[in-house]
Amino acid sequence: MAAQHSSRYKYVITFLSIAVLTFLLFMMNHFDKIGFIEIQCPSQLLQSQTEADMIVLLWTRPFGNRFPLNRCPKPFNAPRCFFTDDRTWYPRANAVIIHHRDVCNSKNQMPQIPRPEGQYWVWFNLESPSHAPNLGMMDNLINLTMSYRSDSDICTPYGWLQKKEILQNFTIPGKSKLVAWVVSNWNPSSKRVKFYNELKDHIKVDVYGQQHKSLAMKDLKDVISKYKFYLSFENSIHTDYITEKLWRNALMSGTVPVVLGPPRETYERFIPSDSFIHVDDFPSAKDLADYLLELDQDPQKYERYFKWRSRLQSVGGPFI
């Protein structure tokens, strides 16, 4: 009995992981451009649930995103899944994806119990616990978790690395500036602002964001790529909480991230050890500043932070 249950469980996780992967590709809106997955589209268009093996209901549109739901690519010979945001499907849905931010203000926003037998509720969250209120509301309701944490049932990180098909030396974008930081949520008591306040006495940091120099999203990559270093400082420190501040702002802009967040060992589970500088590697902000200034004067040493890019490439997830 127990074994049966666990193989059934494994089956569902596999099933759902693939479904969710598909879902994430939907959200990226350009999934046919993604190379790492073989997508047979549009021959596998599912026009209705009648052909589907699994019905997945999005309880809300995460972040209000209006990505199309009427296409269901079929990677890896996956079961066919029918995605919908129409709640009249609730009684028949095999899984319901519940985006925490959209429901956490009130229990009334959750699907109502009793739930249909065999239905999985998937808790979806991309915020750190510091910005995910009312977590207790989910107690004893959720079957599967889906978040940036690697111990989620379905892991949906902010970005990841992809092997390059052929080894190819990376061309470092031209550098004319030293250190940049983009920050919107300026909280003077946060670890990152305190650290910055010490750092700026020892090295020049150009700060962009709401209360600083303005920087339009469309210019972000171009502007940041001209800097040798980027401060990928997370707003709060939590297990595996590594966001677009690393993936988009630093790695995808072709600069070297200086990270403040979970410990170095955590970052090393996601990216190579020689791809970033961790603030914890230094006893003080001044020591970090001295090291950055040293790298600035030593192109060979600086370029070592790009070596990994000849075999790997960073990819942003759907929300960045």
Ligand X SMILES: *[C@@H]1O[C@H](CO)[C@@H](O)[C@H](O)[C@H]1NC(C)=O
Nearer to ligand X, 9 or 76 (CB): 9
Q: Does 302 bind ligand X (CB under 6 A)?
A: no
- Whole-Å CA distances, 91 to 96, 117, 122: 10, 9, 15
Q: How far is the CB of 158 from ligand X (least distance, A)?
A: 27
Site string for ligand X, 1-40 (x = CB under 6 A): ----------------------------------------
101-140 burial code (b ≥16 CB/10 A, e <16)? bbbbeeeeebbeeebeeebbbbbbbbbbeeebeeeeebee
Which one among 1, 2, 3, 167 touches ligand X, defined by CB under 6 A?
167
Q: How far is the CB of 120 from ligand X (least distance, A)?
A: 5
The count of other CB atoms within 10 Å of the CB of residue 178 is 17
Stretch that binds ligand X, among 55-63, 138-146, 203-211, 289-297 (CB under 6 A): 138-146
Q: What is the DSSP code (8-state) at residue 145?
A: E
Cβ–Cβ < 8 Å for 265, 177? no
Site for ligand X, residues 91 to 120, rule: CB under 6 A: 118, 120
Nearer to ligand X, 274 or 280 (CB): 274
Catalytic sites, residue numbers? 127
Q: Does 140 bind ligand X (CB under 6 A)?
A: yes
Cα(278)–Cα(316) distance, integer angstroms: 21
- Whole-Å CA distances, 284 to 30, 195, 245, 267: 43, 9, 22, 20
Count interface residues toward ligand X (CB under 6 A).
Answer: 7
Which one among 44, 49, 143, 236 touches ligand X, defined by CB under 6 A?
143
Cβ–Cβ < 8 Å for 89, 46? no
The residues of the shown chain that bind ligand X, judged by CB under 6 A, are: 118, 120, 140-141, 143, 167, 169
